[in-house]
Amino acid sequence: MQDSNKKTSRKKFLLWTTAIISSVTAFKIFGSKPKKQTVRMLAEDGSLVEIDSSLLVSKGRKISDKELQQWVKNKPVNN
């Protein structure tokens, strides 16, 4: 009597384990959409904006902190 219960519970355990693993795998493959790659950049008015990286043409060069401060301060304020 106990042998048949052990075999049944073992089969149930294996079936449930297989079902859970296959569900997780299917969710990873079909459920998640790829995230868009975004880049944070500073706009002309000094605000931080996120831009889709596919819209950027070239990478350009990194400016220094001093150039950045002068660039933001020299922009005219439009009211």
Please state the domain extents for the chain.
Answer: 1-79
Write out pLDDT tens, residues 52-74: 888 877 767 888 888 878 876 66
Whether pTM > 0.85 for this model: the answer is no
Report the SS3 class of residue 55. Answer: helix
Please state, in angstroms and rounded to a whole number, the distance separating the CA atoms of residues 63 and 69. Answer: 10
Q: Where are the alpha helices (H) located in 1-79, listed in sequence order?
A: 2-26, 65-73
Is the pLDDT higher at 3 or at 41? Answer: 41
Confidence tier at 28 by pLDDT (50, 70, 90): confident
| Of residues 28, 77, 33, 37, the one with CA closest to residue 55 | 37
